[in-house]
Amino acid sequence: MVVEAPARTSAWRDFVALTKPRIISLLLVTTIAPMYVAGSPGWKLVLAVFVGGYLMAGGANAVNMYMDRDIDDRMARTRLRPIPSGRMHAEAVLAFGILCATTGTFLLAHVANVLTAALALAGFYTYVFIYTRWLKRNSPQNIVIGGAAGAFPPLVGWAAVTGRIDLMAIYLFLIVFYWTPPHFWALALNKQGDYNRAGVPMAPLVWGERETMRNMLWYTLILLPLTLLPVAFGAMGLPYFVMATALGGWLLLGVIRVMRAADFVKPAWSVYKYSLLYLALLFAAMVVDRAVA
């Protein structure tokens, strides 16, 4: 029994790793925060959306690893994943991903509503088929169009509370949509070698580094006014305006530093890491604004 315990522990760690919990943590912030912006949800609903959202996103990530099993061993940051390392069979990973997504869909439909489950499922299919299966290996626009999958969580949270999608929910979707390119391209600038070995046409490899940086700037310049539009139509107030302006200003400054740097490695890493914090704090600012209103 003493010998088998580490193996069992390792297996559980691999199942958790398949879901990419660090990535999901940000998705859950952008799912749960809109629930409190939309209304005053009960703890049972929040818990169900939290668990259901984790299962849906985790299932999508597991299926993504199944589909990318042929290129993951070519990339330094993915070669230790359960499939390329040989710790798990590909079929088991696929079955696990489908089971997670199926369970998540049922939970969201049963506890929240059918619209919530349908939106979560739409995000799942967008990530698995539009991004992973189609765009990722065929177009430098992969992260732009495919990134829409990561913008579904705010819609899921909003629909769980209100049972509908309205203008504010669409703005939340667009905020995440326009945040995704500068966030991910900051990483891609520093992972060009990995993507080149895997044959993935990320923007820096196809457009070049300078053009990628210019696109990062353009998307950021669209993102920042977009984050302030809810204030213009009265959905958010002064506290959010101040916080969103400060957070966005720092993000813009970071992108400009990447463009001006003789060596973009450190500035790009800084933008990538800050962009994660930026999105979480931006959604937190919405909750704070509603709480003090």
Write the pLDDT tens digit of every residue in 128-139.
Answer: 999 888 888 888
pLDDT for residue 2 is more than 80: no
Q: What is the mean pLDDT of residues 219-226?
A: 97
pLDDT for residue 4 is more than 70: no
Model pTM score = 0.91
| Other beta carbons within 10 Å of 143 | 21
Residue at 147: amino acid letter = G
Describe the crossing of helices 238-260 and 209-232 by its angle, rounded to 10 degrees.
170
How do residues 22-47 score in pLDDT, each as one tens digit? 889 999 999 999 999 999 999 999 99
Query: Considering the chain, what is the average pLDDT of its residues?
Result: 91
Q: What is the mean pLDDT of residues 217-228?
A: 97
pLDDT for residue 162 is more than 60: yes
Q: What is the mean pLDDT of residues 241-262?
A: 97
How do residues 82-105 score in pLDDT, each as one tens digit? 888 888 888 999 999 999 999 999
CB 130, CB 152: distance < 8 Å: no
Could you give the CA distance from residue 250 to residue 217 in angstroms, rounded to a whole number? 13
pLDDT for residue 168 is more than 70: yes
pLDDT of residue 60: 94
Helix then strand then coil, in percent of the chain rounded to 5, is 80, 0, 20
How do residues 64-78 score in pLDDT, each as one tens digit? 999 988 887 887 777
Token representation of residue 236: 């958010």
- What are the chain's domains? 1-165 (1.10.357.140), 167-293 (1.20.120)
The CA-atom distances, in angstroms, between 96 and each of 5, 55, 71, 196, 237 are 22, 10, 20, 29, 43
CB 35, CB 160: distance < 8 Å: yes
Token representation of residue 206: 């196809």
